Structure 1
Amino acid sequence: MTTPPLPPTGDWIRGITIRQPWATCILAGKSTENRPANWPWRGWVLIHAGKAKPEPALLRDPLVATAIRGRELHRGAVIGVARLTDCHPDQGPERCTSPWAQRDAHHLVLDDVRELPLPVPATGALSAWRPTPDLVALVLQQLPDLRP
């Protein structure tokens, strides 16, 4: 049995660049990514670790330090994929119980997070971006069961 062909790259997957250490925290279980505005996109996203060096103070935060312990903080590469299932404005700690949720932000809810065995070097943008077919192909080599 053959696998059905994937739809055009831009129709089922996007990229999201996330600064370190937050990108690695997502791989370790951080399910809420904070953004200043609503994101209408829903579906699979490539988790792209930005190139900026993380601030040392962030690495000492107990929540972050626990999440990244023993992990390498790759930069300038796709390090995983996740399914973006929701985006909602901050509704207070009684409605959004994630310890990662920031006040006065929009919370991107990420499910089905999958870490790539090997980071794939790439350039991204802080807003949702369309990955090239070549980049998607490199990711799918490592996650062949990933489908829209």
Structure 2
Amino acid sequence: MSTATLPEGDWIRGITIRQPWATCILATKRVENRPAAWPWRGWLLLHSGKRLDRPALRDPLVATAIRGRELHLGAVIGAALLVDCHPDRGPEHCTSAWAQRGVHHLILHDVRELPLPVPATGALSAWKPTQHLVDQVLQQLPDLQR
């Protein structure tokens, strides 16, 4: 993984994703589906929501991605670089098996898993983490520092 150079000031947000989808991002999923566009680009803390999407566990793509992994709830479990957000324009434009039709696709790169999840509260839209939470993440992922 590359070492990132981060801008001064306001450089990171959080995104809350229900399980098992959050763990799928840590494994192989690089497209997060959202109902609306996101103007934010940059680093995101990957926060697993407190609720589990039980029907998703039966999806073969999901089951393969999460096999052998713990599904942490209510915690920051990683970080990723959000590089793009575009509306669905069909499978010829976004070829990921994870891309749903009729929504916006958040394109993630440089996904990094935390060795130890950090308990936290998130929000449905992009949220600004506290400095304390960012400091806890940086203890485990020091190469995210400026």
Q: Is the 8 A contact 1:80 1:116 kept in 2?
A: yes
Q: What is the CA distance between 1:53 and its match in structure 2? A: 2.4
SS in 2 for 1:65: helix
Give 1 or 2: higher strand fraction.
Answer: 2
Residues matched between the structures, number: 142
Question: Which amino acid in the other structure matches residue 144 of structure 2?
Answer: L
Q: Per the alignment, do residues 37 and 6 of structure 1 end up closer, same or farther by CA in structure 2, a change over 3 Å counting? A: closer
What are structure 2's unaligned runs of at least 5 residues?
A: none
Question: Which amino acid in the other structure matches residue 29 of structure 2?
Answer: K
What are structure 1's unaligned runs of at least 5 residues?
A: none
Q: Is the 8 A contact 1:6 1:147 kept in 2?
A: no
Give me the CA root mean square deviation. 1.6
* Residue of structure 2 equivalent to 1:14: 13
Q: Is the 8 A contact 2:22 2:48 kept in 1?
A: yes
Distance in structure 2 (CA, Å) of the matches to 1:45 and 1:28:
16
Q: Which stretches of structure 1, 4 residues or more, deviate above 6 A after TM superposition?
A: none
Q: What is the CA distance between 1:147 and its match in structure 2? A: 3.4
Q: What is the CA distance between 1:6 and its match in structure 2? A: 7.4
Q: What's the TM-score once normalised by structure 1's chain length?
A: 0.92
Question: How many percent of aligned residue pairs carry the same amino acid?
Answer: 75
Q: What's the TM-score once normalised by structure 2's chain length?
A: 0.93
Q: What is the CA distance between 1:7 and its match in structure 2? A: 3.2
SS in 2 for 1:111: strand
